[in-house]
Amino acid sequence: MAEIREGGCLCGTVRYRVKGNPVRASACHCTFCKRRTGSALGMLVLFDEANVEITGGPLTTYEHRSDESQRWIRMQFCPRCGTTVTLKLERFPGACGISAGTLDDPSWVKIERVILDPISSPLDDISSRYRAI
Ligand SMILES: [Zn+2]
Ligand SMILES: [Zn+2]
């Protein structure tokens, strides 16, 4: 039987369950991911849409259009605490991305690809420059 994993937003209003293994998992340092997360990178675990069940909510959607490809990206976030929980991309029809940090236990996630920003900044090199605490 496929494994069920759970997660949710910071305030707990939005909860979800995902079934089975992700289609892919990536860490992305592009400018879009920096801006959408307010952090150094975005980590996305992509599932088949049929395997994602939102059990709390509802989520609010913000649609962004890529300057380069003109394709849409829909960020879905908790209207109460602002956590982006899911992300849907025109590029991946039928798939639903989960923000990796919202999983209750993200320790099983294996990041298979890292997308670097062509214009690197000190934010893109945090792991090698600082001591873990
Ligand atoms: Zn919330
Ligand atoms: Zn990105």
Distance 102 CA to ligand 2 centre (A): 17
Asked if residue 97 belongs to a domain, the reply is yes
What dihedral angle (degrees, nearest 10) is formed by the CA atoms of 69, 124, 119, 22? Answer: -20
Domain that holds residue 108: 4-118
Distance 101 CA to ligand 2 centre (A): 15
Amino acid at 26: S
- Whether the predicted model's global pTM rises above the 0.85 cut: yes
Write down the pLDDT at residue 115: 84
Asked if residue 127 belongs to a domain, the reply is no
Nearest bound ligand to the CA of residue 68: 2
Distance 66 CA to ligand 1 centre (A): 26
User: Phi-psi bin for 123: left (phi > 0), alpha (psi -120 to 50), beta?
Assistant: alpha
Asked if residue 125 belongs to a domain, the reply is no
Write down the pLDDT at residue 67: 83
Write down the pLDDT at residue 130: 62
**E strands of 1-133, at which residues?**
4-8, 15-19, 24-28, 42-48, 52-54, 60-65, 72-77, 84-89, 95-99, 113-115
In whole angstroms, give the CA distance from residue 28 to residue 18.
Answer: 21
Asked if residue 109 belongs to a domain, the reply is yes
Write down the pLDDT at residue 113: 85
Residue ranges near ligand 1 (ion) with Cβ within 5 Å: 9, 11, 13, 78, 80-81
Asked if residue 47 belongs to a domain, the reply is yes
Nearest bound ligand to the CA of residue 37: 2
Residues of the chain with pLDDT under 50: none
Nearest bound ligand to the CA of residue 79: 1
Asked if residue 130 belongs to a domain, the reply is no
Asked if residue 132 belongs to a domain, the reply is no
Asked if residue 79 belongs to a domain, the reply is yes
- Tell me, what CATH number does 62's domain have? 2.170.150.70
Considering its fold, how many domains does the chain have in total? 1
Write down the pLDDT at residue 27: 94
Write down the pLDDT at residue 56: 87
Distance 58 CA to ligand 1 centre (A): 10
